[in-house]
Amino acid sequence: MPFKASQSLHDPRRHVGVHAEHISNVSSTDYPGHYPDEDHSWDLVKFTKDLQVKVQRLSNRSIEFDLVGVDASIANGFRRILIAEVPTVCIEHVYVFNNTSVMVDEVLAHRLGLVPLNVDPALVDMKDAVTDQATDRNTLVFRLAVACTRNKLAPNISTTNPEELYTNSEVLSSHLQWDPQGEQAVVYADNPPAPTNPNIVLVKLRPGQEVEMEMHAVKGVGKDHAKFSPVATASYRILPLIILNPEKPVPAHLATKFQECFAPGVIRVDPRTKRVSVDEKNMRKDTVSREVLRHPEFEGCVELKRVRDFFLFNIESESFYPPERLFPEAIKVMRGKIATIRKAAEALLADSDALDGEVEGGAVAETRIPREAGGEGDVIMTEA
Amino acid sequence: MMAETIPKIRIMKGAEPDLSAATYQIHDESHTIGNALRWMLMKNPKVEFCGYSAPHPSENHIQVRIQMYDKLSSLTALLTALTDLDSLCETVENAYDISLRKDKYEKWEEKS
């Protein structure tokens, strides 16, 4: 392994045991007070030293990277933010002027909402409330006007292909026309707003049918509606670890069977000696299916583990963001949340300090929220 | 507006007057912050106990309970944890950035 921590990959404290019918040592134990005479309190220098982030694979749509040395609560926080709290821009309001297609307005509007747009969310303000006025800073306008007609020039009368028989037999995402408002023509000059994929079929039409609508796209987050989620998937696996028992080697005649208990490439069999070994580089490919534990002949030959703080992230972008930009965006959101809470906590501290002197008995202050008021001696706090 | 009157953090009834033990209700947050904050608070040796809960799915808040040793202020511990969590994020961000720029990794074309 190319990691500095490769030595400590075999540190039993980092291991989650995987057994035939249960798992063991799931929880992390790196807390102060857990081990006698060991510190484990937060140490940024040590964390920085031990942390390993390594990009493994990058494509135009997805990224795979390792995040090693953080607790599951942190890794999971980033994963949750990627899915639900990194903002994107999507169609939110659809004004239907005419729709004679076979699809009802609501269904078509829903489909329009799901179309990913290539708009940089940094250029758009979040509308604070639904009642907020739409402006050129927080709303993008798209128009759709498509009518289906017979194609008089259809070369072959006997054909049944609607593409040849009619024009506009399909309404595609490429039919969405961006209508710049106010300063938008300048702001979006480099990258005019449009769907990321021009070939999404929104609805099919036949001669005489038409759709005409205006759409307003706004900025939002995935926890409000899944259409705002910037990712197709954002997930992590925990590094699988296969430890062969040197005391009990796999019998030569069972080597192939042993190999087939794991994902392809994970177990190597020496062609001459039939000795099995683990391919350290491919170990991560194992699915930890636990097939090997079903065969009594392999009992004691192998231990299956996972490394608790070794996260293999996989993020697929489905939005404006190139895949490599999603994780930094998630961290940015996380830090924004921390800053907001911090500000509120500081205000709380300032208020409690200020009122400490005034109130007898050191009671802490709070603004009364009617529902909570009353009750003697209740501690009352101030809002941020 | 109703939304503007809800404080981001509220100290729940029953807290110790010196805040050595208190439950904080954080509005508009979920397990994302709750669990991360809980972990960072538990890394503080002066924290006797820390736990969080999301009391009900239709209530948009979490509650973080902090109990301190030596009659210390849980609010101070909360602020420290927030600062440390931010520096953690910064460290991860920098490490990711360096890997993306300097490391050698496979680049490939994926059909959409």
Written as one string, the DSSP assignment of A131-157 is TSPP-TTT-EEEEEEEE-EE-TT-S-T
Q: Which residue type occupies A143?
A: R
* Cβ-defined contact of B78 to A345 (cutoff 8 Å): yes
Residues forming beta bridges with residue A24, ordered by sequence position: A17
- Compute the distance between CA of residue A137 and CA of residue A201 in angstroms, rounded to an integer: 29
**pLDDT, tens digit, for every residue of A56-113?**
999 999 999 999 999 999 999 999 999 999 999 999 999 999 999 999 999 999 999 9
Q: Under an 8 A CB cutoff, do B89 and A338 touch? A: yes
Residue A104 near residue A96, CB atoms below 8 Å: no
Tell me the C-alpha to C-alpha distance, in Å, between residue A367 and each of A158, A352, B32. 79, 11, 28
Residue A51 lies in a domain: no
CA distance B69 to chain A (A): 12
Query: Taking all residues of chain A, what is their mean pLDDT, rounded to a whole number?
Result: 90
Distance CA A169, CA A25 (A): 59
Which CATH number do you get for residue A108? 2.170.120.12
**Is A378 an 8 Å CB contact of chain B?**
yes
Helix (H) or strand (E) holding A244: strand A231-244
pLDDT tens for residues B1-13? 455 578 999 999 9
- In angstroms, the CA A327 to CA A352 distance is 37
Residue A172 lies in a domain: yes
- Domain total in chain A: 1
Q: Which two tokens stand for residue A189?
A: 């000059």
Report the C-alpha gap between A292 and A370 in whole angstroms: 62
Q: Vertex A326, ends A323 and A332: CA angle to 5°?
A: 160
CA-based radius of gyration for chain A: 29
* C-alpha–C-alpha distance, residues A363 and A354, integer Å: 11
Q: Is residue A128 part of a domain?
A: yes
| A33–chain B Cβ distance below 8 A for any pair | yes
CA distance A103 to chain B (A): 26
How far is Cα A252 from Cα A271, in angstroms, rounded to an integer?
A: 10
Across the range B66-79, mean pLDDT stands at 97
Q: Does A60 touch chain B (CB under 8 A)?
A: yes
Task: Report the pLDDT value the prediction gives residue A376, as an integer from 0 to 100.
Answer: 38
Q: What is the pLDDT of residue A382?
A: 36
User: Can you list the domains of chain B with their CATH numbers?
Assistant: 9-100 (3.30.1360.10)
Nearest CB among A77, A364, A384 relative to B8 is that of A384
Q: Which helix (H) or strand (E) holds B26?
A: strand B21-27
Asked if the Cβ–Cβ distance from A60 to B45 is below 8 Å, we say no
Structure-block tokens of residue A293: 């534990």
Q: A208: domain range?
A: 88-229
ipTM associated with this complex: 0.95
Q: What is the count of residue pairs from A and B with beta carbons less than 8 Å apart?
A: 178
Count of beta carbons in the 10 Å neighbourhood of residue A208: 11
Q: Is residue A99, in this structure, part of any structural domain at all?
A: yes
Residue with tokens 């205006």: A214
pLDDT, one tens digit per residue, over A166-192 is 999 999 999 999 999 999 999 999 999
Q: What is the pLDDT of residue A1?
A: 38
Residue A83 has which token pair? 């899915």
pTM above 0.95, yes or no: no
Whether A119 is in a domain gets the answer: yes
Asked if A41 lies within 8 A of B44 by C-beta distance, the reply is: yes
In this structure, which amino acid lies at residue A50? D
Kindly report the nearest CA distance between residue A164 and chain B, in angstroms.
26
Hey, are the CB atoms on A339 and B30 less than 8 Å from each other?
A: no
